[in-house]
Structure 1
Amino acid sequence: MIFGRAGFGGAVADFEAAVVARDAKRTGRAFLRLQETFGPAKEAELLAGGPRLAAVLEQTPPGPRAVVAVLVGACVERGADAERCAPGVLAGLRTALEQAVAFVGGWAATGGGALPRPDGEEPGAEIVERAGREAALGWWTLREWETAAVAMLNHPAVRAAVGDRDELLRRLRAVEEASGTEFTYLAHALLVLDDAPLVAFHRASGTGYLLRLFGIGDNFQLHTLLADTLVGGGHVEGHAPSPQEAAVCRETPGQVETVGSFDLTAPDGGRIRDEGAPADVPVVDGVRLLVLDEPSCRRTWPASRFLPGMRGDVLLERTLDPEETERWSARVSPARVATC
């Protein structure tokens, strides 16, 4: 078999053939060429290459597997079909999480101490001896799997097809708790709500609104889009974000300084953290219920998307009639004293 065909497309074909043939030397050479040729790759090569690499991820040797997954994610970011690429990448993520859980447990069981920090090289012999090679690689490559998985989860069709998000989150939380390391982008991507109903009760005006959430990565983004929809739409009084502030929270790249329009409050009167996710909003009678209180102080932040590859939106379905609003408001406690 002749290796060394030109361009990224050729490198993909060479890598694919080498992996299927289980030829370690050829796989190593083709792996290097994948990285060398990715940057100048043509669109057609990326569109075809992403799914082909994803299809052989499971057969790829553990050492380069996570980097190849990152390349698949980069292909998706440049137009490759996320639905075709996602199964291989998410299967790899599941394995890496399972291995990382085993690693932090094995590390604690063999003397503990500070967990080693991945340094771009493969884990050394002492680390492998304490926890095993597969477990060590799971921990060592989890950042790469996070990057690749988020590129898949940016797409609503992929998110809809992931039936074990709760289990993935459970494993991720176990790793974070045991290691003291946060994988915030992956956590937020797994928490994203799509076509999710939200009742917003505006306390000052005594009005209520049924909205739907799509692809929102954090509550800063939710806050700005709620203000754009409700204040900008003329439904309640307050600070309305500029069109630019709202646009960067939907799909326009960049950041624009904005000012808080509300305090986001839970039905029990507690504060909903802007740094959190819409999934933090409590469910009441099958629907998330959020109270919009007057801002307790002036807060500013850069309006943007925490997950910049994901399009987000808040859509107003309808204004609740007075009887509906009264029923929801009866479930709401007074706000606790807020501090900024």
Structure 2
Amino acid sequence: MIFKRKPKAAALGTALTELEEGVAARDGGRTGQAFDAVFQALRSAQDSDLVQAGPRLAALLPGFPPTGPRPTLATAAGFCVERGADPLACAGPILDAVHQDLRDALEFARRLAAAGAEPPEPDEANIDDALLTLLGGEPQHATRLALAWCAVEEWQAPALAVLCRSAEVRRRHAAALLPACRDLAALGHHDLKCLAYALALLDDEPVVVLHRPTGRGFELRIGAVADNFQLHTLLAHVLVGGGHLPGAAPSAESVRLATDPAPARGGSGAVATGAFELLAPNGDRIWNEGLPDDIPVVEGRRLLVLDTPAYRRSWNADRFFPLLPGTAELTRVLSADETRSWFARTTFAPGGGPAS
């Protein structure tokens, strides 16, 4: 929960109308007062009021002052989504703003690099006239870039509020944001792991799975699987637990934690145990610490090879995103000819070592 509820506040609808009018009039003083009133009202509003308020708050983002507390406004909209507002109705303005700040933060780093300077730690205390001069260009735009660099992690909470509650939101928005998120994270100044994982989620994704020791092949469809720890558990549940492959099936508790629609509450302490080695078609290891998105696409299908584990692995069975139950469904067992054809696209020979 983003905000704690408190007993007394002004009516949310009234405060929100005042904020909308202040933003429309570009009246900074009126906007600031209404902004504070909205946040007071959020703490005591009924869920039915928050359902209506979420899209209205999100809709203010495009017109909100670019150097104002936009992530905080988005967080308010995200709080309403947590309490029942439609994530799809709120997602466009929130994720467009996230995308803009990711790009602005990257532009901030690019300009400093062109000036021969390293970017500072993302703290507004580091923004001064000397830094803005290094950035060059119009001062207000330079300020916006610097503020984006400092505030980009604050966008994760509202972004996750909509991304983790709607596959349609992910389908519409995630692919456009993911490259910028990863590029910024690679600079090493921001912790954007949660946002990157949410943007990389696969929904209704077909995966061809080959089991090298038995030479068998399967087609599965996965969805909302946050990382390869969770994927590993689901693969073992479907293929070993379903009687298609030899080995020890995962515990009922680890499967429940991976798939139960009810969000987990706190750490369970449950442990999952690995049944496979996960490999790319070229023989590279696909790490449990990675993502299903790491599985290479070969001729329009993600192609994963399972092998005998090199050593015993175990991990905490709690899923990365408590709100998101993962799914893995066996859609069909591949014929022998199909399986041979898919193995031919890998460096492996079924039932043996690497292909010659």
Task: Provide the TM-score with structure 2 as the length reference.
Answer: 0.85
Deviation at 1:84, TM superposition (A): 0.5
**Percent of aligned positions that are identical:** 41
Aligned alpha-carbon RMSD (Å): 2.4
- The letter of the residue matching 1:296 is A
Find the partner of 1:174 among 177, 180, 183: 183
Return the alpha-carbon distance in structure 2 between the equivalents of residues 109 and 326 of structure 1.
52
2:157 maps to 147
Return the alpha-carbon distance in structure 2 between the equivalents of residues 124 and 148 of structure 1.
28
Find the partner of 1:11 among 15, 26, 30: 15
Return the alpha-carbon distance in structure 1 between the equivalents of residues 52 and 61 of structure 2.
15
Check if 1:198 corresponds to 2:203.
no
Deviation at 1:167, TM superposition (A): 4.1
Find the partner of 1:263 among 277, 286, 289: 277
1:275 maps to 289
1:61-72 aligned within 5 A: 61-62=65-66, 63-72=68-77
2:225 maps to 216
Conserved 8 A contact 2:10-2:37? no
Check if 1:135 corresponds to 2:149.
no
Return the alpha-carbon distance in structure 2 between the equivalents of residues 144 and 180 of structure 1.
14
Conserved 8 A contact 1:203-1:292? yes
Check if 1:85 corresponds to 2:90.
yes
Q: Deviations over 1:2-56 (max 9, x none)?
A: xx98243443333222212222112112222333333333111211111000111
2:3 maps to none
- The letter of the residue matching 1:324 is E
SS in 2 for 1:229: helix
- The letter of the residue matching 2:219 is L
Check if 1:47 corresponds to 2:58.
no
Change (3 A) 1:71 1:11: same
Find the partner of 2:101 among 93, 96, 110: 96
- The letter of the residue matching 1:67 is T
Conserved 8 A contact 1:146-1:186? yes
Deviation at 1:71, TM superposition (A): 1.6
Deviation at 1:124, TM superposition (A): 4.5
Change (3 A) 1:267 1:76: same
2:169 maps to 158
Return the alpha-carbon distance in structure 1 between the equivalents of residues 87 and 25 of structure 2.
26
Q: Deviations over 1:78-112 (max 9, x none)?
A: 21101110111111112111211111112223442
Conserved 8 A contact 1:31-1:64? no
2:303 maps to 289
Return the alpha-carbon distance in structure 2 between the equivalents of residues 66 and 29 of structure 1.
17
SS in 2 for 1:193: coil
Return the alpha-carbon distance in structure 1 between the equivalents of residues 321 and 126 of structure 2.
29
- The letter of the residue matching 1:218 is D
Deviation at 1:135, TM superposition (A): 0.4
Return the alpha-carbon distance in structure 1 between the equivalents of residues 212 and 109 of structure 2.
46
- The letter of the residue matching 1:138 is A
2:61 maps to 57
Uncovered stretches (5+) of structure 1, i.e. residues with no partner: none
Deviation at 1:327, TM superposition (A): 1.8
Change (3 A) 1:129 1:10: farther
SS in 2 for 1:264: strand
Deviation at 1:126, TM superposition (A): 4.4
SS in 2 for 1:213: strand
Return the alpha-carbon distance in structure 2 between the equivalents of residues 85 and 311 of structure 1.
22
- The letter of the residue matching 1:232 is G
- The letter of the residue matching 1:109 is A
Count how many residue pairs are aligned between Structure 1 and Structure 2: 330
Conserved 8 A contact 1:238-1:261? yes
Deviation at 1:173, TM superposition (A): 3.0
Conserved 8 A contact 1:104-1:179? no
SS in 1 for 2:120: coil
